[in-house]
Amino acid sequence: MRTIETKVYKYEELSDSAQEKARDWYLEGGLCYDWWDFCYEDFCRVAEILGIEISTRRGGKTPEIYFTGFYHQGSGSSFVGTYRYAKGAVAKIKEYAPKDEELHRIAYGLQEVQRRQFYRLVADISSVRDHYIRVEVYDRDNRYRDIGDAEDEVRDLMKDFNDWMFKRLQDEYEYLTSDEDVAESIIANEYEFDEDGRLGMKTLYEINWHYLDEEQEQFSHCTVTPIEVLREGILPGCSGVSITAKDSVGRTFQGVPRDYFETEAAAWDNVRQGLAETIEANEDLVKFLKEENRHMFSFLITLPDTEKSE
């Protein structure tokens, strides 16, 4: 056996070229989390002020906001919801976002078109391929009344709001992937590198439980596979340590360190312990069921024979 010693450096101690490699490494897994959640919260608040109710996805509280981006054909955002007149929207949006002139313009435009239509306009907004919206505008009291140019005005303002959301998402993404912010995250997590900016991350092992049925009730076997940790630390907005890793087939995922094992042997020990505990629990259940069957059979044979009595 031989021991190899490697010098490690803090990010600030690396050369410019090594720092660039370190930042590239971080970006491989550094944004493997829902970084847009903070943006969505802001979007929903702004939408509420403007009179837009953004729908939530079925079975949860996640708003129906979608996007794809940022630098290819088809980049864009969309959302699903309903727009109605909101009294005082102009004043409220100026208070909430005093420096955002685009939101001020949208709020004022909506107020003006609603005023000309007696504040009765409603719009249904739907998502098209995650990067475009379809807007249907109508009079809430008479869906088929001709509202003239108001339809196009509201539609354009809804699209302007959608574009505003996409620009905020792009700004946030560019900030999070900027050299300055990436360097700050690396330093905060106290990562160490070799002199070329490569991070010698550890290999962990995960347990995979396999079943014979889709309901995962009939056990088949277990496997233990290695995962390559790409990042370990506390992500922005989080309080606990997490990892970004790549599994044996190349898929990148996130997890928490406690769910994985330092060695393959430790993983198999956990499998043995888990199986032994399950077998013991199953044997106790079998004993209970046998005893219950015995009691039911004892009672069954005491019941009168209805056929003979007839």
Q: Averaged over 179-204, what is the pLDDT?
A: 84
Cβ density class 214-224: b for 16+ within 10 Å, e for less: eeeeeeeebeb
122 three-state secondary structure: strand
CB 162 within 8 A of CB 133: yes
pLDDT digits (tens, 9 = 90+) for 98-146: 999 999 999 999 999 999 999 999 999 999 988 899 999 999 999 999 9
DSSP single-letter state for residue 117:
T
Distance from CA of residue 233 to its chain's centroid? Answer: 18
pLDDT digits (tens, 9 = 90+) for 82-99: 999 999 999 999 999 999
Give me the pLDDT at residue 200, please: 61
pLDDT digits (tens, 9 = 90+) for 203-255: 899 999 999 988 888 999 999 999 888 777 776 656 678 888 888 887 888 88
Give me the pLDDT at residue 1, please: 47
Task: Please identify which residue in the block is written with the tokens 């109710």.
Answer: 53
Give me the pLDDT at residue 74, please: 85
> Could you tell me which of 244, 259, 249 has the C-alpha nearest to residue 225?
249
Ordered alpha helix ranges (H), 51-178: 89-96, 101-116, 150-176
Cα Rg, the chain, nearest whole Å: 30
Token pair in block for residue 53 = 């109710």
Q: What is the distance between the alpha carbons of residues 306 and 112, in angstroms, rounded to a whole number? A: 84
